[in-house]
Structure formats: C-alpha cells, structure tokens
C-alpha cells in the first residue's frame, strides 16, 4: 500500500481520472490500498461487483442486508455471488427487525445502513462505491476520488461518470444477469418499504422515500 502524500492530492488524482475508464480507476485503487479496501455494492445492477472482482479477484465486496430488501434483490445478490465467486461480506444490523421505518426513516437508515457500513469499513483505508452523478441532481458534482472525512478514509467512485446506458452496455457485453426489479420500473433499488417504481424518464431516485424530505440514506452524506 502506498500512502498518499497529502489528502489535497486527492483532488488532483480525481481530476486526472475524469476521462479514465472505471477499470483504470479501480486498478489505481487496488495498487494504492491493497487489501485495505472494501467495495460497497447496492446490487441494483451487477456492474460494480463484476468489475471490481475482475480487476482484483477476491476483493472484498460488502452488501448491507437491512433486513428489508426485496426478495428479488436477495436472489440477485446470491446469483452474482455464486456465478462470479464473489468474496461477499454481508453486513446485518445490530437491531432486530422493527417498525422504525414507519416513523423514523433517518434513524432506521442509521441503524440498518450507516452503522453496518461503518462497521464493515473499520480498519480499512479506502472504500469503493457505485455512486453515479447521473443518479440524481444531488449527486451531480460527486468526485471520483475524495477524502471521506466522516470515516477518515479515501472514498472512490469509479462509476461517477457513467450513465444508465453505460451500465446497460457493460452488462450486455459481459452477459451479466439483472436485478428482476429493473425491468419493472425500479432504476434505483433500496428497501421495499421505501422504494417505489418510477415512470420512464423520471429521476431514477424519485421512487426512494416518496413523499418525504429525504433523498439519501446517509452512506454518502
């Protein structure tokens, strides 16, 4: 693992990757951080787990099992794990299933997503996400590489520049299976209580926390 000389160097690194292929960014990340890196995957599609595992077979891939995922997503996670021999680490909440999502979505995401992710990242130097600028206006300025001050580590978004078309092309080229929900109007897939189908052309994340003043679960804020 190579230490970055200065956290401000990350801005220059990020800028240098604006036109780079995601595989190039992942290769840099693996070279920098070795085994001290974790890939966090939502499994709404198979691109990031497949790509990361192709760049470094056996790289640790984390899935946050909130205990409120759609059955289709749980099937998809297992299908990708089995098909590509993923080194999958499933994180579960410390809390038992409850009704908190009905009245306190911030607290529920905190217990079922943020805390398990932070636990998964303990002792790591960097994490990789599938965040894309095209996901939502709130993500339009997401850097490719940045310092995650809240977690005291580097955060890498190798797909930041990718569009839904890029995802479709990569998935087709590599014969990836799809989350069955994708063709049923779910371009962004979270927990079943907080995710609805959207109309074609709508903001992909507009089906998340519908009717609430909430757009992010807290992993990226």
List the one residue from 10, 52, 131, 217 that touches ligand SF4 (CB under 6 A). 217
- Interface with ligand SF4 includes 109 (CB under 6 A)? yes
List the one residue from 108, 159, 160, 182 that touches ligand SF4 (CB under 6 A). 108
Of the residues 41, 109, 191, 217, only one is catalytic, namely: 217
Which residue stretch of 12-20, 50-58, 80-88, 101-109 sits at the interface with ligand SF4 (rule: CB under 6 A)?
Answer: 101-109
Q: Which is nearer to ligand SF4, 29 or 217 (CB)?
A: 217
List the one residue from 11, 68, 115, 166 that touches ligand SF4 (CB under 6 A). 68
Whole-number minimum distance, CB 190 to ligand SF4, in Å? 5
List the one residue from 191, 204, 205, 207 that touches ligand SF4 (CB under 6 A). 191
Q: Which is nearer to ligand SF4, 55 or 191 (CB)?
A: 191
- Interface with ligand SF4 includes 40 (CB under 6 A)? no
CA separation for the pair 87, 63 (Å, rounded): 11
CA separation for the pair 138, 143 (Å, rounded): 12
List the one residue from 50, 56, 113, 205 that touches ligand SF4 (CB under 6 A). 113
- Interface with ligand SF4 includes 116 (CB under 6 A)? no
The CA radius of gyration of the chain, in Å to the nearest whole number, is 17
* DSSP states along the chain: ----S-TTHHHHHHHHTTTS-HHHHHHHHHHHHTTSEEEE---SSSHHHHHHHHHSTT-EEEEE--S-B-HHHHHHHHHHHHHHT-EEEEE--SSPS-SGGGT-HHHHHIIIIIHHHHHHHTT-SEEE----GGG-GGGTT--SEEEETTTTEEEE-TTTT--HHHHHHHHHHTT----TTGGGT-SS--BGGGB----TTS-GGGGBSTTSS----STT-
Q: Which is nearer to ligand SF4, 30 or 41 (CB)?
A: 41
- Interface with ligand SF4 includes 112 (CB under 6 A)? yes
Clarify whether 109 is annotated catalytic: no
Which residues form the catalytic set? 217
Contacts with ligand SF4 by CB under 6 A lie at 66, 68, 101, 105, 108-109, 112-113, 190-191, 193-194, 217
């Amino acid at each position: 693992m190579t230490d970055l000389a200065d956290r401000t160097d990350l801005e220059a690194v990020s800028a240098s990757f604006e036109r780079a292929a995601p595989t190039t960014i992942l290769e840099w990340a693996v070279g920098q951080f070795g085994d001290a890196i974790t890939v966090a995957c939502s499994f709404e599609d198979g691109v990031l787990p497949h790509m990361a595992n192709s760049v470094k077979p056996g790289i640790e891939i984390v899935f946050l099992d909130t205990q409120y995922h759609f059955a289709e997503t749980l099937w998809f996670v297992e299908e990708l794990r089995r098909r590509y021999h993923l080194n999958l680490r499933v994180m579960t909440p410390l809390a038992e299933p409850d009704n908190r999502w009905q009245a306190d979505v911030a607290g529920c995401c905190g217990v079922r997503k943020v805390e398990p992710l932070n636990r998964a990242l303990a002792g790591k130097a960097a994490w990789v996400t599938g965040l894309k600028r095209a996901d939502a206006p709130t993500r339009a300025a997401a850097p490719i590489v940045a310092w995650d001050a809240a977690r005291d580590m580097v955060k890498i978004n190798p797909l930041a520049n990718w569009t839904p078309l890029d995802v479709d092309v990569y998935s087709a080229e590599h014969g990836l299976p799809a989350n069955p929900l994708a063709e049923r109007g779910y371009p962004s897939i979270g927990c079943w209580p907080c995710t609805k189908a959207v109309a074609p052309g709508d903001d992909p994340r507009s089906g998340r926390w519908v009717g609430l003043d909430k757009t992010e679960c807290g992993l990226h804020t």
